Structures are given as structure tokens and as C-alpha cells.
Amino acid sequence: MALTNLLLFLLIHSTVIPARAALPGTWELLVPNAGIASMHTAVTRFNTVVLLDRTNIGPSRIRLPPHHCRSDKNDPVLKTDCYAHSVLLDLETNSLRPLTILTDTWCSSGQFLPDGSLIQTGGDLDGFRKFRKFVPCNSSSLCDWEELEHVQLSQGRWYATNQILPDGSVIIVGGRTAQSVEFFPPRKGGAVHFPFLGEVEDKQLDNLYPYVHLLPNGHLFVFANNKAVMYDYKVNSIVKQFPELEGGPRNYPSAGSSVMLALTGDYSSATVVVCGGAQFGAYLQRITDSPAVGSCGRIEATGLEPVWEMEDMPFGRIMGDMVMLPTGEIVVINGAQAGTQGFEMASDPCLYPVLYRPSEPAGLRFMTLNPGTVPRMYHSTANLLPDGRVLLAGSNPHYFYKYRGPFPTELSIEAFSPEYLSADRANLRPVLVELPEKVGYRQAFEAAITVELPVVGVVEVNFASAPFSTHSFSQGQRLVKLPVTSAIPDGTGKYRIGCTAPPNAMVAPPGYYMVFAVNQGVPSVARVRQRKPYSSSLFSGFLHGRRLREASESEAASGRLPLLPSPP
């Protein structure tokens, strides 16, 4: 099969750093020096990782190829800049290739499109109204960033959030001085005023990088500061106002993190969790030792009378990342235990990840994991990898690169392996050996696995998105658990599992997903598959045709999206 549609990602063998405590999980150093500190990170379907920083940060530690220099008379450090501020990491070899980014991506946003390309929006200065695109490729090709010159944002976006929608377009929500939403591809009329963002703004701007989750009813859950609404973006209307979350502000610059739990069952229910944050006033008064918030709120956003269920993490945490694992559990990782987001404004790094187990009762959901050794604070990221590990990159609490003193600029890249990858569970780890090239909504299909020990119980088949990670929030993060039949041995050493694809694009927007088989809590290495509900002739044009987009939205809402023919 074509590499773009069928990719079995391989485990990467690296030196395991000795554990500092008898706690679950192990750490690996993948790259000692990536050349840049990654402020934004995304994993592509080619088993590569796009790492991206600001452009106007001065010299990085990796050069651009000859004749690729950037000229910017407004750059405070380098008017002619021949250093890379984006790199591509090949996970099979841990090798790096510099990428060329021309406009400032400081505190920008991003999202993968259905065709697998990464759209990147906004930033500061000359990047304020920019769209950029990265079309990923295999490691033998030389794909690079493209500045989209024929379109631009209707309103400048700095600290905004992106979310893919059921029709395959992307909504861009908020930003500094931007109390509005807009779309990619751009729609007639441009930006649409969204009053909620202005209503929750406070003196220290705690409405930035709002938490946005696409609910299975087609509406958006939007959380900013300490308030949340259900938002119908099609008519720019608030459907529901949720109760205020106690504990103070939760978004940038007082940022905790947020995740929507795995969608499962009949997909009618969606639960959102918000954890951590800073004390109000820490940012305004530059209080670096103010204890971080340790509380989490959990709410069934689709419930009739939703309320926040409160619980406490083992550690107060600011700037933590919540990473959805293939099992549906969540790792909370990175960050600090005091201070706030911003340059030089946090202290007491939180080196201990914690595991959040949603199915456990309140009070028993958190488990402390094996600590790392590298502080990852402001401008650090965390992403799920196709082999089930969590990639950690970045950390630069300084305006420019600074390699001395407390919390220096961090150029290394690490991976954290949850307990399900421990050696004593290797004989439970399935290998996903057969999977259709692509599936349509409601399509019944078959997956096949091999595993060393006999299968006991249900083997899950789960779709995981590849989000855009920045500033303690993974934009577009999603896990969908499929209905499956029991794994049946076929007499050739394989187990066959009957699966049914999600019912519509509100549950799983079109695009590439990492598909995991999960046996007794142990995930396989993912295969990448595309949820592509349109025929190939329509798909190539739907991103550009307004009439087709509107028709697709209507079909998605009614659940009548066409299915693709079964692959040969």
C-alpha cells in the first residue's frame, strides 16, 4: 500500500535513563541538542515531528541550508537570520533537518487538515495575520514550510486556539485583542464577534489560548478564565452556559490544561477535565513563588444539568500538559509548582508526571509516576507518539535563548514511557497486522492482531488524533473508542476483531488518525489511517468550495455522510 495511507511505525530503541524512584514509567533521552527549543510541536503521519519556535529569538544552535536566510528589518537581534527556528525530527533515526519559517510564530496556533497537512495561524509582528502550511513527507523528501500569500487572517491572532470541524475546515478562536472567531479556509465576512471572550477577560488577560473541544453533538465547548459555554459556531450563538469553575483562572497566563475524555459507547456523552493553574495576581504582580493550583474540575458537558466535580492532583501545577494515551488514561506532565506563565515568572519545577485514570472513583484517579530530571516549564510541549510514548520538547522561560542560570533554555528532546510499555507487559502487547487503508463513517471493517500470550477479554481498537501542542494545551486532541467484537483466532496465529467506524464527523472529524489496538491496557504501535468520508473527486475540492462545505456540514449533522467503497 502507499506510504501515505499505510504506515506501521516502529519502536525506537534508545538508552533508558535509570529510574530515580520505584515508580511507574521510564525516561529516554532521544536528542541531546535539537538546535531549537520547541514552543509548538506536532507529530505527522510519516513518523516525523515538526518542532517550531519564535523567529525573532536570535541565533539558534542549528543553521539553515545555504541561501535560505531570512531578512527582517524589525528583528530585534538579526536583520539577516541564517539560523533555523523550526526543525523536523525523524523518529526512526532521531535525526534532524532544519526547516525555513519566514514570519514570526510566537504564541501562534495550529491544526492538521483532513489531507494531513499542518495549517499554522498567527503569531506576533509580521506573523500576526499569517497562514502557513506544512505538507509532511517521508524522510527521503525535503518538504518545508510554505507562507500562504493569497490568504490572510481577517483579524490578527496571537494566543489563539484552533479546532478542526466536522466539515474539515478549522475554526480559530480568540487571541490577544481578538474577541472573535474565524475560519480556514477563510469564509465570506471574515471574523465573527464572539462576546464571551470579552466577558471573561480580566486585568491579566486570562482569556488567552481558550480550551476548545468539539463535542459529539457538533457544538464547541469553549473554556476561558474560569467560565465555559457550549457554542454553536454556525449561527454564533451560546447554547448553554456552564457553572463557574472554582479555584481561580485556568487559561493563559494562569494556565493549567484541559482534555476531553475518550468518546465511547453511543458517543452521546462528552466529559471535559480542567486541571491546575496559577493564583490570580501572580502574573500581574510577578509573584514567582505563588503556589500553583492543584485542583481539577470534571464536567459532563453534554449532560442535562452539568456541574463540576472537583478533585485534587498530587501536586499543584502550572504549565502542565494533559496528554491522552491510547488507553483513554491521561498523563499530566511538565510545568512548575509555583508562579505563573510568562518570562522568568515560575519556580519549583514539577518533575513528577501523574496518571489520571478516568474510570476510577474520585479520590483514586491520580497516580504519581517516575520523575524526570529536566525542568520543562514555560514554552515546553508534550505529544503522544505512535509507539505509545510521550515526547517532551522545549522549555525556554527567557525572552532570548539563555543557557546559564536557573532553568536554562532546554534544547534536548526526551520520551516518557508509561507503565504499559514496561518489559513485564511485552508479551501482552499486540501487533496490529491488518487494517483497511481508509474507512468511512459507520463502516464495518476488520482488524487483525498478533500477540504472544492468548487474548483474554476485549481488545479495543481506538482512534487517536495528532494534535498541535503549545502553551499547555493540545489543540485538536481526541480519542475515539470503537465498538468491537471479541477477538477471534483465525487459525493462522492472528486474532480478528470486528470494528465499526464512528457514526459521523462530529464524533471523529475527517483526517488521519493513529489507530491503536489495546490488549489488557497495553497498546500496539499505531497504524495511521484516514477518516475520509468524501469520494476522492469531492475531497480534493471541498476545502475550497463554500457550497460543498455547507452541504458537508448538513450531512455531518444528519449523520448521512457517504461511505467509501471497501478497499481492495
Residue 7: what pLDDT?
33
Question: Where residue 20 falls among pLDDT bands split at 50, 70, 90?
Answer: low
Q: Determine the pLDDT at residue 532.
A: 62
How sure is the predictor about 324, in pLDDT bands with cuts at 50, 70 and 90?
very high
Confirm whether 26-420 and 426-532 share one CATH topology.
Answer: no
Write out the H or E segment, with its range, that includes residue 220: strand 220-224
Q: Which of 1-10, 110-119, 133-142 has the lowest mean pLDDT?
A: 1-10
User: How many angstroms separate the first and last alpha carbons of the chain?
Assistant: 10
Residue pLDDT, tens place only, 183-234: 999 999 999 999 999 999 999 999 999 999 999 999 999 999 999 999 999 9
Q: What CATH architecture does domain 26-420 belong to?
A: 7 Propeller (2.130)
pLDDT, tens only, 135-174: 999 988 999 999 999 999 999 999 999 999 999 999 999 9
Is the pLDDT at 21 greater than 90, yes or no?
no
The predicted-structure confidence for 347-373, as pLDDT tens digits, reads as follows: 999 999 999 999 999 999 999 999 999
The three-state DSSP-derived secondary structure of 4-19 is CCCCECCCCCCCEECC
Mean of pLDDT values over 257-262: 98
Confidence band (pLDDT; 50, 70, 90) for 548? Answer: very low
Q: How confident is the model at residue 566 (pLDDT cuts 50, 70, 90)?
A: very low
Whether the predicted pLDDT of 561 surpasses 50: no
- Calculate the dihedral angle through the C-alpha atoms of 508, 509, 511, 517, rounding to the nearest 10 degrees: -10
Where do the structural domains in the chain lie, given as residue ranges?
26-420, 426-532
Residue-wise pLDDT for 444-500, tens only, equals: 999 999 999 999 999 999 999 999 999 999 999 999 999 999 999 999 999 999 999
Q: Could you tell me the pTM of the whole model?
A: 0.91
Q: In the sheet where 495-500 sits, what is the strand order?
A: 431-434, 444-450, 495-500, 488-489
263-319 tens-digit pLDDT: 999 999 999 999 999 999 999 999 999 999 999 999 999 999 999 999 999 999 999
Neighbours of 87 (CB within 10 A): 22
Helix (H) or strand (E) holding 499: strand 495-500
CATH superfamily of 426-532: Immunoglobulins (2.60.40.10)
> What is the model's pLDDT at position 72?
82
Model confidence at 74, pLDDT cuts 50, 70, 90, reads confident
- Assess contact for 331 and 391: CB atoms under 8 A: no
